[in-house]
Structure 1
Amino acid sequence: MYLPLDGRGPLHGQLVRSLKDAVLGGRLPAGVRFPPTRLLAQQLGLSRNTVLAAYEQLRAEGFMQARVGSGSFVALPGSPVQMRTEPPQRIVAQSAYSRRLRRYHDHANIPGRRAPGTLHSFQYGVPFTNPLLTSAWARALSHAAAYTPPNYPTAQGLPVLRAAVCEYLSLRRGVQAAPEDVIIVAGTQQAISLTARVVLDEGEEVVIEDPQYFAVREALQIHGAKLVPVAVDGDGLRTELLPERPPRLICVTPSHQFPTGALMSLPRRRALLDYANRHDCWIFEDDYDGEFRYDAQPHAALCGLDDSRRVIYAGTFSKVLFPSLRLGYIVAPPGLRDDFVSAKWVDDFGSPGIEQTALAHFLADGGFERHLRRTAKTLKQRRDALLGALRRLAGDGVQIDDSHAGMHLVVWLRGRNAAEGEAFIDYAQGRGLGLYSIAPYYVHPLERAGLLFGYGALSVAEIEEAAKLFASCLQEMAFEDAAV
């Protein structure tokens, strides 16, 4: 323990002053145990009697409380003393990267965060968590902890997990990948960050969907890319609007476009691949929510159609299992594989080995497939409940864009412009209902009011109650409009 002595007076007095400073400064908060006297004496090079004398004075002044059989603990005398804190000093950004961080990212205002004080919330991006998964994952982790070597894992990812990912992708997503082309990463966000560093120089152009996932957009902007937004409709990215001057990279979510939920049609997939091949540019495929479709068999990933190896394919286990897992994967074109492995090594030396081993075992023993089947069934029930409740309770007040996939719906407020939509969100929050605008995901400002309704984290009963409150807010706002 670091306790500087000021050199003034007896040693026990110096120690008393140093310990008081640690308590009053917050380094030793109330309730924390003081070090044993023998140990502290050894650490500071003092006699034990000196430490005992200091502790006795602290007890007498009310800074220390002794508990029989447990030791001595911090007890602040009188009224609690506030920790001394200094306001952060704002200094000029020290690099071009820092300047872009400040320009493009506001960590205090991230879209989609749960509104404070809400009783019901249609928060999106929060996946369904199966209670059975908790115990199954605990068993997998326990097994992995006993059998994972304690040394650094390979930067590319454990071979057993990379092989399991290939089997999963072949079965579920129609992607034929070799384990040597797979890199295990910390989710899609690290995947796009590594992709930017591997294939882009600052100032190069990147096509993004409009609308698109804000975190991907910010990662590219912070890297220094110049973004070229291309509109999305019901068939996905409008490939006929791709620029004449080819970009270096094209970022798409073809299996379940975020946030619209559109599925890219087969003709547009082929047109996109042809464009990338002709113009020698790369495609970053974020296979967002590709596992969950409710109207038909899952569509093959874009990467599965790519004969020219222009697609950098990224997927994550964070949404289908739980976000805190922070494990995903890249399937890299063979010519870029070594660059991606090196970039991953520079970033963090490799993803956690125990979690990789546990996930590989979970995939191999069928636990993951069972989880997907249970989750898809539950999500379909919740989706159907939300659709039914909105159609029954909100009626003509809304237009629903049903994506037939994922864990959210897009709902438009009929007759409301964007400003009125924001006012409605504020009004609903005052009634205890969390609603979330689609506007932050558009490059070009929206004219109409749109909402994202997440249903993954709500039970059927909670969905019904929240939908009733939503309909009530719609009626109350309509009444106020009529009164005006």
Structure 2
Amino acid sequence: MYIELDGQGPRYAQLIRALKAMILDGRLPAGARLPASRTLAREIDVSRNTVLAAYEQLQAEGFLLGRVGSGSYVAEIGSRAVSTRKAPFAALAAPLSPFARRAVAITDGSRIPGRQHAGLRYNLQYGVPLTNPALASAWRRELNRAAERAEFDYPDAQGLPLLRERICDYLARRRGVEAAPEDVLVVSGTQQAFALAARVLLDDGATVALEDPHYRGARQIFAAHGALVRGVRVDAEGLVPAALPARARLAVVTPSHQFPTGALLPLARRVELLAWASRSQAWLIEDDYDGEFRFGGRPLAALKSLDRDGRVLYIGSFSKTLFPALRLGYMVLPPALREAFRAAKWLEDRGSNTLEQAALAQFMAGGGFERHLRRAAQTLRVRRAAMLAGLKKHAGAAFDIVDSNAGMHVAAWLRSRSHADCERLAAHARERGLGLYTVAPYALRASLRPGLLLGYAALPPADIEAAMRLLGRCLRETGIVA
């Protein structure tokens, strides 16, 4: 009898796997007698004890029957239509759900999109966090304190009451939003907030209006849930309310700092947007992703502060204000939606991490969070100034630059208006060690003006200046400017 061992692990385990495969494939039928232990040991060049150990294990699992004085026989184990030969995943997998098929298509099927740092001297990717050793030390202390006081039980699905209280206090002072703790739902970041909104508010095929351009993660979530995504035109003042579809279940907006153009939605348009939601019986999701960082006066009040009909769902995140690895954010919900969202959150993950919620609540209560925001705003102000000065000096001939006086990025629009030039510039820059990223992936309209989304939070001013100098060289090397 020919037996092939696979060479993985102990010899007796290899023999067990080989014999199981032969039994399950039908190559060793029920009732077949196996070779004596000494005989098989010689044939496959192992010790007799190895064979005995394998036979004993297979008898214990019901694959073999041992008969005293006669030997070992293959047991009757029912249907043999079981193959142990490796097959491609697609051949083994059950049919995927419509959501899974859409999710795989959206993420290109092969990998989940991630950061693109490898081999870059200067990476201007948006969303790379501001590094702060003092914040890391403070956070470590708060986590240790939270662990000492922790109750190791399942969390409240809605979020730790103390954290929800601190969020309400913070929003009232900094964003003009009056909310009670029962209005707040703690979530695992903005992405989960969008996912919960899709589950709670949308039927398959419902229309969702997104600013165009917009945050790509929102589009991916709603498309994966089967929504019909409609782009709404954006100009120098943000979303154009007159371009909203007559019928939509919800619209996602970034009124305090339009992403990615940086536009600020004026009061008249905010009022018009709220009127549209009331008239259309639609929901508005306000994504206030970096409203804390405004460098010309105090941050503007959120759209939610004007809501009188309970149509606005407000989303805030600590990914930008603290760091993305924290995976904590929050929603402020209209009373009519509180119970449904709490139930959806409970079903999804039973609640966010209690230790980190407790640490964050104490960090906010003790004033550490506000101190960090002040330091971060000052650091970002200096880096933004370095970015704008470098762009003007080294690339001003090629770009129209939007100075939104806020946030963690700058939008630079290519004057040549050639998408091919923009993509060629980004590819050439990456070969030189400069990470440039175009606005195109954030848009639904192919006619959107080509441009770059330049994140400056992660680089000190000297590196930003060097990156802009390298950008100027890349513009000349590609012939986009003389």
1:433-472 superposed matches below 5 A: 433-446=434-447, 448-472=449-473
Residue of structure 2 in register with 1:302 after alignment: 303
Counterpart of 1:171 (choices 161, 170, 173) is 173
Residue identity matched to 1:331:
V
1:17 aligns with 2:12: yes
Deviations 1:216-264 (A, max 9, x none): 0010011111112111112111001122x32111111111111111111
In 1, the alpha carbon distance for the partners of 2:110 and 2:172 equals 40
Contact 1:173 1:299 in 2 (8 A): yes
Distance apart, 1:275 and its partner CA: 1.2
Residue 413 of structure 1: how far off its partner (Å): 2.3
Q: Post-superposition shift, 1:403?
A: 1.6
1:296-445 alignment to 2 at 5 Å? 296-445=297-446
Structure 1 residues not aligned, in runs of 5+: 1-7, 9-13, 23-52, 55-83
Residue 447 of structure 1 and its aligned partner are, at CA, apart by: 5.7
**Residue 344 of structure 1 aligns to which amino acid in structure 2?**
K
1:45-444 to structure 2, matched below 5 A, reads 88-89=89-90, 93-106=95-108, 113-114=115-116, 116-243=118-245, 245-444=246-445
Displacement of 1:459 in angstroms is 0.4
Counterparts of 2:16 and 2:469, CA distance in 1: 56
Cα-to-partner distance string for 1:184-226 (whole Å, 9 max, x where unaligned): 0001110011111111111111111100111100100111111
1:211 aligned partner, one-letter code: P
Q: Number of matched residues?
A: 409
- 1:336 Cα deviation from its structure 2 partner: 0.7
Q: Shift of residue 111 of structure 1?
A: 6.7
Is the 8 Å Cα contact of residues 93 and 99 (structure 1) preserved in structure 2?
A: no
Shift of 1:115: 5.1
CA change 1:111–1:421 in 2 (3 A) is farther
Q: Residue by residue, what CA displacement relative to the aligned partner does 1:451-484 show, whole Å, maximum 9, x if unpaired? A: 11110000011101111111111122228x87xx
- TM-score, normalisation: structure 2: 0.81
Asked if structure 1 preserves the Cα contact closer than 8 Å seen for 2:189 and 2:318, the reply is yes
Deviation at 1:85, TM superposition (A): 9.3
RMSD: 2.3
Q: CA deviation at 1:21?
A: 9.9
1:25 maps to what in 2? none
Given residue 255 of structure 1, which amino acid in structure 2 is its aligned partner? S
**Structure 1 residue 104: Cα displacement:** 2.3
SS of 1:415's partner is: coil
**1:412–1:449 CA contact under 8 A, matched in 2:** yes
TM-score, with length taken from structure 1: 0.80
Unaligned runs of 5+ in 2: 4-8, 18-48, 51-84
Letter in 1 for 2:470: L
1:20–1:423: structure 2 CA closer, same or farther, 3 Å change rule?
farther
Question: Does the residue aligned with 2:293 lie in a helix, a strand or coil?
Answer: coil
Q: Which amino acid aligns with 2:475?
A: L
Tell me whether 97-106 or 172-181 shows the greater mean CA deviation: 97-106
